[in-house]
A and B are shown apart, each in its own frame.
Chain A
Amino acid sequence: MADQSQARSPSGSKPRPGENMRLIDAMQYKLPLAGVVSILHRVSGMLMFFLLPFIVWMFDASVTSEVSYDGFTSAFVAGIGFVPGFLIKLVALALIWAYLHHAVAGLRHLWMDATHAVTKEFGHSSAVATFVISILLTVVLGAKLFGLF
């Protein structure tokens, strides 16, 4: 491990490891599965953040009154304004995946924090489990959303 007190700033005489590394260099490395879980944790979180008004709209329309509830359900069939119903369903499916991936990956984080499970093996096997659980549930709920059962 590099001695922190000996590290210099970029203008110093002693270069720090990786100082001249650019993103294009990092792209040559294969991202491990745990890394894919990590970046998708971030992507799914951002997706839910930007779709927050749509989420609150769904909450508003679904609980406010029976009339608004009908508007909520018909949005997924007839659409809203110029947005067709299947597009609303696709957005809802994206939210379902984002929620499931974010939640499962988050529970994985909590488990690692609580039990200090930080081995390379656990990192990989729990990443596999995260994908299996979140994708399986997304497929089941997606099939229900699109009326396949």
Chain B
Amino acid sequence: MAVNYGSKRIVVGAHYGLRDWLSQRITAVVMALFTLALLLQFIFGGPVGYDSWAGIFSRQWMKVLTFIVIVSLAWHAWVGMRDVWMDYLKPVGLRLLAQVATIAWLVGCAGWAVQVLWRL
């Protein structure tokens, strides 16, 4: 059987990493568009204060959009932080620990943000 590991590994054709690469870019576009939508509402939303600021997030379509962005951010940060750990953390046990902690951190923060969003 042909060797497909180490320096003999065939690195094309199996889309290694393509999904992560692509999802990081798609989530980036989603967040960039959200930034624009939020900025426009902030600028044209009247005087700066609690009512106008909280009012932006009280509309249902904005809640849905913000929820999509929270998920996008967590996914985007997961791909990025995993890249960082893979580059700098070589001991496999330490890397696993860092990756598990990253997921816990992101899921925890995302859950908190979603709670804030939907009790508004």
Contacts and interface: CB of A to CB of B under 8 A. Distances in A.
Nearest to A60: B116
Given A63-B53, A106-B28, A56 B81 contact: no
B112 A56 contact: yes
A90 B47 CA distance: 25
A64 B7 contact: no
Contacts of B35: 103
B44 interface: no
Interface residues of A, number: 27
A53 interface: yes
Contact of B84 (A42, A53, A66, A110): A42
Instruction: Give the dominant DSSP class at A's interface.
Output: helix
A66 B54 CA distance: 9
Nearest to B28: A106
A4 B32 CA distance: 38
A56 B116 CA distance: 9
Kindly name the residue among A5, A63, A110 whose own CB sees the greatest number of chain B CB atoms within 10 A.
A63
A49 B7 contact: no
B29 interface: yes
Instruction: Give the dominant DSSP class at B's interface.
Output: helix
Contact of B54 (A5, A9, A56, A63): A63
B81 A46 contact: yes
A33 to B, nearest CB: 21
A112 to B, nearest CB: 11
A60 B70 CA distance: 14
Interface of A: 4-5, 7-9, 42, 45-46, 48-49, 52-53, 55-56, 59-60, 62-64, 66, 69, 103, 106-107, 109-110, 113
23 contacts: A8-B7, A9-B7, A45-B84, A46-B81, A46-B84, A48-B77, A49-B77, A52-B105, A52-B106, A55-B109, A56-B112, A56-B113, A56-B116, A60-B113, A60-B116, A62-B50, A62-B53, A63-B54, A63-B57, A66-B50, A69-B53, A103-B32, A110-B25
Given A60-B113, A63-B116, A69-B50, 14 more contacts: A7-B7, A9-B6, A42-B84, A45-B81, A49-B80, A49-B105, A52-B106, A59-B113, A59-B116, A60-B112, A63-B54, A63-B57, A66-B50, A103-B35
